């Protein structure tokens, strides 16, 4: 049993679809999925309630449907996130971790419908809850959906696992002088136009005084490090 003290009691974790592919030219990197499952179990055993929102970018994003009707393309994006939610549920259960996938758009033959009270009850019963389908409406991303669901389930923190290890003053791949922030406010982030978190998600999190933490998922154990208070990315506060 891990001995580190926990900084958070109930955490919301946003995983992008790309994280599940881990940069490979395949939909899923099974080794990465195993590592994510192991770390999530370690966090759960340490006593954190975990709710996950998964993206769909490894399969489809609405903005890929250039010639499509946007709403239809977003429907496909939401279905992609549901596939990822089923994949995560499957890998967790295979690892012996109690987990339940819930979808924003009802597909009862495949998963539980997302209902705030059922999600909270599952968390309190020690299950990891994985949400597919974002908010179930087009023109949104799973960053914003994560912010809204995190508020609904009264999470203490939203972990934004990204392909960058924090928020920088400029794009560090283009600007060698870019500096990484240990903490930043949503207002400053918005004012500087730093789009590591979607603007609509950032505004929602600010308005609801919900802190988030941006870090790199490349090493899945980073989830545990953040939950035990290690400073490895950028904390974003009101």
Instruction: By CB under 6 A, name the binding residues for ligand UDP.
Output: 16-18, 55-57, 61-62, 74, 77-78, 80-81, 134-135, 137-138, 140-142, 145
Q: How far is the CB of 134 from ligand UDP (least distance, A)?
A: 2
Cβ-based nearer residue to ligand UDP, 27 or 46: 27
- What stretch of H or E contains 185? strand 183-185
42 vs 101 by CB, closer to ligand UDP: 101
Minimum gap (Å) between residue 79 Cβ and ligand UDP: 8
Residue (140 or 213) nearer to ligand UDP, CB: 140
Q: Count, in order, helices (H) and strands (E) of the chain.
A: 8, 9
Indicate the residue among 14 and 42 with the shorter CB distance to ligand UDP.
14
Output the smallest distance, CB 156 to ligand UDP, in A.
Answer: 22
Q: Return the closest-CA partner of residue 58 out of 93, 33, 91.
A: 33
CB-CB contact of 224 with 217 (8 Å): no
Q: Quick one: 4 or 70, whose CB is closer to ligand UDP?
A: 70
Cβ at position 146, least distance to ligand UDP in Å: 9
- Shortest CB 67 distance to ligand UDP, Å: 15
Strand order of the β-sheet with 112-113 is 112-113, 99-103, 128-132, 49-54, 10-15, 157-162, 212-216, 234-237, 183-185
Shortest Å, Cβ 135 to ligand UDP: 4
Q: Which residues contact 85 (CB under 8 A, 6 or more apart)?
A: 54, 101, 102, 103, 111, 130, 131, 132, 133
Quick count: other Cβ atoms within 10 Å of Cβ 94?
12
Residue 12, CA distances (Å) to 8, 107, 153, 181, 218 in order: 10, 23, 9, 21, 18
> Which lies closer to ligand UDP via its Cβ, residue 42 or residue 149?
149
């Amino acid at each position: 049993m891990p001995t580190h003290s926990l900084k958070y009691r109930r955490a919301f974790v946003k995983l992008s679809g790309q994280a599940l592919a881990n940069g490979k030219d395949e939909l899923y990197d099974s080794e990465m999925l195993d590592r994510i499952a192991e770390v999530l179990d370690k966090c759960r055993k340490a006593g954190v309630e975990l709710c996950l929102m998964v993206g769909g970018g490894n399969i489809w994003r609405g903005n890929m449907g250039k010639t499509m009707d946007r709403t239809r393309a977003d429907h496909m994006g939401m279905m992609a996130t549901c596939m990822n939610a089923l994949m995560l549920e499957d890998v967790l259960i295979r690892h012996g971790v109690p987990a339940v996938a819930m979808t924003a758009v009802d597909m009862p033959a495949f998963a539980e419908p997302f209902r705030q009270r059922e999600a909270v009850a599952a968390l309190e019963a020690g299950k990891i809850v994985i949400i597919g389908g974002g908010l179930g409406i087009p023109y949104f991303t799973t960053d914003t959906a994560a912010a809204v669901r995190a508020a609904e389930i009264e999470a203490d923190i939203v972990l934004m696992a990204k392909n960058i290890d924090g928020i920088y003053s400029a794009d560090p791949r283009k600007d060698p002088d870019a500096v990484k922030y240990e903490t930043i406010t949503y207002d400053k982030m918005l004012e500087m136009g730093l789009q590591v978190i979607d603007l609509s998600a950032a505004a929602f999190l600010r308005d609801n005084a919900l802190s988030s933490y941006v870090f790199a998922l490349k090493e899945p154990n980073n989830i545990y490090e953040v939950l035990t208070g290690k400073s490895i990315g950028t904390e974003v506060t009101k």
